[in-house]
A = this chain, B = another copy of it.
Amino acid sequence: MRKEINYNDYAEELITQLTKGGVFLTVKDQEKANIMTIGWGTFGWIWNKPILMVMVRYSRHTYGLLENAGEFTVSVPLKQNRTKELLICGQQSGREIDKFQTCGFTPEKGQAVTTPVIKECPLHFECRVVYQQAMEPGQLSKEFRAKWYKTPDYHVLYYGEIVAAYLTE
């Protein structure tokens, strides 16, 4: 059962979960979907649309997928304990393992996009990429650059228009 929510009703829970272990970003190619844990992102209103911005480093399998897919979903564990799955999806690569299988997760058909969401999570956002931009390293504060980018493995910022937001039971 899906229960539609206003895109903004769970902004605080989403941001809190980013800071406490992360949320699941799902992106697919023509064959199957892959999950990556993200701990950084922003949420808001741009171009008169609800926008969820996610960041992916060049080195990630998800980067190649997302460049082609043009859409993604975000599934949020909320109060569930998903420490193990968040670690698997953060530290391992979809180039080597099937993360849905390894985590025991079920891909559930998206509502407005063709990318699945994770059935076992209670909160979902479906997004289509409307803007993207690779980071310009020289524009970041020196302190953050030194701390987070010791190699040139920068992030690409993907701005997704939220085309569906809902809770599942």
Taking Cβ atoms with an 8 Å cutoff, the residues of A that contact B are 8-9, 11-12, 15-16, 18-19, 39-48, 51, 53, 55, 130-133, 135-136, 139-141, 144, 147-148
Contacts and interface: CB of A to CB of B under 8 A. Distances in A.
Contacts of A55: 46
Nearest to A149: B47
A8 B19 CA distance: 11
A151 to B, nearest CB: 16
Contact of A139 (B47, B133, B141, B148): B133
Count of chain copies: 2
A157 to B, nearest CB: 8
A37 B141 CA distance: 26
Nearest to A155: B46
A48 B42 CA distance: 12
Contacts of A132: 139
A135 B132 CA distance: 9
A42 B43 contact: yes
27 contacts: A8-B12, A8-B15, A9-B12, A11-B11, A11-B12, A12-B12, A15-B43, A15-B45, A18-B44, A18-B45, A19-B45, A40-B44, A40-B46, A40-B48, A41-B44, A41-B45, A42-B42, A42-B44, A42-B51, A44-B44, A47-B144, A47-B147, A53-B53, A131-B139, A131-B140, A132-B139, A133-B136
A52 to B, nearest CB: 8
